[in-house]
Structure 1
Amino acid sequence: MIISSYNKDGIGDVLLVMTKSSVAKDQNFETKGKITRIFNVLTKKTVGYNFFDSSDYFSINANGPLTLNTEQISILNNFLLKQGFTDQLEGDEAPKFIIGYVKECISHPNSDHLSITQVEVDNQQVVQIVCGAANIAVGQKVVVAKVGAMMPDGTAIWDGELRGEKSRGMVCSAKELGIKEEQVKKGILVLPDSAVVGTEFQK
């Protein structure tokens, strides 16, 4: 699982690839050629790569989050090997913003405002998501940012835990999706009954 982004105007011709959740204080890095590997200082495991002069690898038409295809992943893996890195990237082209259905919603035992939900996403998979929105309820069709998604503000979605309960993804509000709030009610974005569960959400 990787999360990728590219913003030439903001940081230059650098492809950012994240492979694990990490915080800056726990990171160190090593550079070989035009590739910088970021790793956890305690575990030594890779948490991401920066590919400099990335247009040398392939053309990127993006300004923000992007999904790398199989061919692009293969090209990057070849460059990693040529520079002496042993890790190999594993891509996932499946949509990351999915229309979900809230099948269950209970109060979090260790919080007065969080809810533990069971949400059906694509391929009838049900995932547990801890949600802080007051308006979430059973029977709603909602937008789910799956693990591997990157939000418009740059936040990466990884497996997590809130107050001791596992959370795999995020139920999104309009603001988090970059939709003007005045167009919808506050809280999570509740979709009409006509929305098809398991399909990709399109703004």
Structure 2
Amino acid sequence: MIASYNPAQIGDVLVVVLGPDNGPQQVTQKQGIVEIKDQSGTVIGYNFFDAQSRLAELAGQNGQIQLNSVQVQKLNQALQAAGFSTLLPETEASKFVVGYVKEMKEHPKSSHLHITTTEVEDGKTLQIVSGSPNMQEGIKVVVAEVGAMMPAGLIIWPSTLKDVESDGMICSGRELRIPNAPDKPGALILPDEYQVGQSFDFKQAQTLFSE
């Protein structure tokens, strides 16, 4: 689940994304809430109009919003009152995690892409296609899992790069907007003390590239 609020661009509307936009949509509006479904009938998002009347703490905010459990409960009460049956998840783990590149092979249809098998927790692995020039086996990296919103606003969904499926993104320091990160392509290689599977701590990472 990704929530964003940009009153300067779209007015007092809280946008909540639950899934990827894959073609034609079905839209239903009731009591100031727009429900958006994909062509299969799956709810992929909601737009909450008059958002500050629902969540007063949105005043002065802009960009991605990290909704807490109380805020999610308020929005779900509004959804139920309007007659919508699909509710927002009340708890959700961070979509940015420490990963470990277990295997890497060259992409058969690209000279610069690599196909990685990257562990993200307790033996769970993801196939992630990466164009990082410093990609290699045996490194710890930051993985943006499916459903993550990058600092620049890009949402990570499953993709296919030159016929190879990719479920996530291995991030660079500059993509994560870490202070003083090199302004060039390349995965952020984390120090050994980072533990595979733990949520990536953006606050702790502020000193990774200290001058």
Match of residue 47, structure 1, among 40, 44, 48: 44
Report the secondary structure of 1:79's partner residue: helix
Answer whether contact 1:8 1:63 (CA < 8 A) is retained: yes
Matches within 5 A, 1:75-114: 75-114=74-113
Q: Provide TM-score, normalisation by structure 2.
A: 0.81
2-side partners of 1:31 and 1:19: how far apart? 17
Mapped pair 1:63 → 2:58: no
Which residue is 2:129 aligned to? 130
Which residue is 1:177 aligned to? 176
2-side partners of 1:182 and 1:152: how far apart? 14
Report the secondary structure of 1:74's partner residue: helix
1-side partners of 2:91 and 2:187: how far apart? 26
What is the aligned length? 200
Matches within 5 A, 1:124-203: 124-179=123-178, 183=182, 186-201=185-200, 202=202, 203=205
Gap change, CA 1:124 and 1:8, over 3 Å in 2: farther
Which amino acid in the other structure matches residue 117 of structure 2? Q
**Runs of at least 5 residues in structure 1 that lack an aligned partner in the other structure:** none
Q: Provide TM-score, normalisation by structure 1.
A: 0.84
Which deviates the most, 118-127 or 149-158?
118-127
1-side partners of 2:122 and 2:50: how far apart? 38
Percent pairwise identity = 44
Answer whether contact 1:68 1:93 (CA < 8 A) is retained: no
Gap change, CA 1:184 and 1:193, over 3 Å in 2: farther
The one-character-per-residue Cα deviations of 1:99-142 (angstroms, maximum 9, x if unpaired) are 21111111123333221111122344322211122221101111
Answer whether contact 2:99 2:120 (CA < 8 A) is retained: yes
Which amino acid in the other structure matches residue 71 of structure 2? Q
Which residue is 2:27 aligned to? 29
- RMSD of the alignment, in Å? 2.4
